[in-house]
Amino acid sequence: MSVTDIAAADLADSVRIVRQTEPLVQSLTNTVTINDVANVTLHWGGLPVMADSFGDAGEMAELARAVLINTGQVPDGRVEAMHEAGRKANERGIPVVLDPVGVGSTPSRQAVAESLLSDIDFTVINGNYGEISALAGVEAEVKGVESVGDYDAIDRTAHSLAESTDAIVVASGIDDIVADADGAVRLTAGHEMLGEVVGTGCMLGGTIATFCGAIDDASTAAVHGTLGFGIAGERAADLEYAGPGSYRTNFRDAVSGITSDVAAALDLEDRVETVH
């Protein structure tokens, strides 16, 4: 993995670049968490647009700085629009992020993801351990959109998917693995309440797409976006909350509260470990 260490000043630089660039981030995503994805994009400093109909999706991809494709729901028209936007993004050389939500659960969803992978060069693929394992072709259990089962070799699995797709792979769970063709790192950040709220994986995809839309080096964008997301999860838990509902609101506030100055003052010791 090209990024093996993170200084607070580096994370602060990334946060500042995202907030100054205000990248237009186009998401083709599910209707369950679409509002969360739009808001988290905005709270990091991006400009969200959820253009997901055929025609409009390709035209928007002419303007966007990054495109996010999330397979949480795969109605016919939206899947065609995903191909259209992804191809346009490739043509323009802008980053495309895939969140293979629910892959490993049904054959139809697996087929959608495989057809997207064969048509589009993805810059980053982010999914939970089960989805990443299913996409990599190793044993996986995904119940709906939930990763179940044990994934002891997730670092190697993420690395092999990174090698076969030439994408950066983010496998999310209690710890997050970020892998590229050279190897993998484990990021230790986050809070158990993130697992109690629907849509945190989708919001992680929105975060990574936003960082990719502003930061030239995709490995840096994926690592810093994923670490920043986990730290926002921790800071959300430092605020008062009564349960998952108010934690979700806190999380949004925590994301918007991570300014470049706040990031520069973080202690990032022991957050990153090379694992493969």
Ligand X SMILES: Nc1ncnc2c1ncn2[C@@H]1O[C@H](COP(=O)(O)OP(=O)(O)O)[C@@H](O)[C@H]1O
Ligand Y SMILES: Cc1ncsc1CCOP(=O)(O)O
Q: x/- string (CB under 6 A) for ligand Y, residues 237-266?
A: ------------------------------
Residue nearest to ligand X (CB): 201
Among 26, 27, 30, 90, binds ligand Y (CB under 6 A): 30
Report how far residue 68's alpha carbon sits from residue 82's, in angstroms, rounded to the nearest whole number: 9
Report how far residue 154's alpha carbon sits from residue 100's, in angstroms, rounded to the nearest whole number: 16
On the 0-12 / 13-18 / 19+ scale of CB atoms within 10 A, 174 is exposed
Q: What is the distance, to the nearest Å, from the Cα of residue 112 to the centroid of all Cα atoms in its chain?
A: 18
Chain residues 138-167 in contact with ligand Y, contact rule CB under 6 A = 145
CA angle, 158 then 197 then 73, to 5°? 65
Report how far residue 205's alpha carbon sits from residue 97's, in angstroms, rounded to the nearest whole number: 7
Could you list the residues that contact Mg ion (CB under 5 A)? 101, 201
Could you list the residues that contact ligand X (CB under 6 A)? 128, 147, 172-174, 176, 190-192, 194-195, 200-201, 204, 229-230, 233
- Cβ atoms of 170 and 123 within 8 Å: the answer is no
Residue 202 found at the interface with ligand Y (CB under 6 A) = yes
Q: What is the closest distance, in whole angstroms, from the C-beta atom of residue 172 to ligand Y in the complex?
A: 9
Residue type at 127 in one-letter notation: G
Residue 173 touches which of ligand X, Mg ion, ligand Y, none (Cβ within 5-8 Å per kind)? ligand X
Chain residues 182-201 in contact with ligand Y, contact rule CB under 6 A = 198-201
Residue 191 touches which of ligand Y, ligand X, Mg ion, none (Cβ within 5-8 Å per kind)? ligand X
Residue 174 found at the interface with ligand Y (CB under 6 A) = no
Collapsing DSSP to helix, strand or coil, 60 comes out as helix
Instruction: Tell whether residue 172 is among the known ligand binding residues.
Output: yes
Return the DSSP state at 39.
H
- Cβ atoms of 183 and 276 within 8 Å: the answer is yes
Residue 43 touches which of Mg ion, ligand X, ligand Y, none (Cβ within 5-8 Å per kind)? none
State which residue, 49 or 197, has the beta carbon closest to ligand X: 197
Residues that bind ligand Y (CB under 6 A): 30, 32-33, 72-73, 101, 145, 198-202
Query: Binding site for substrate: what residues are annotated?
Result: 50, 199
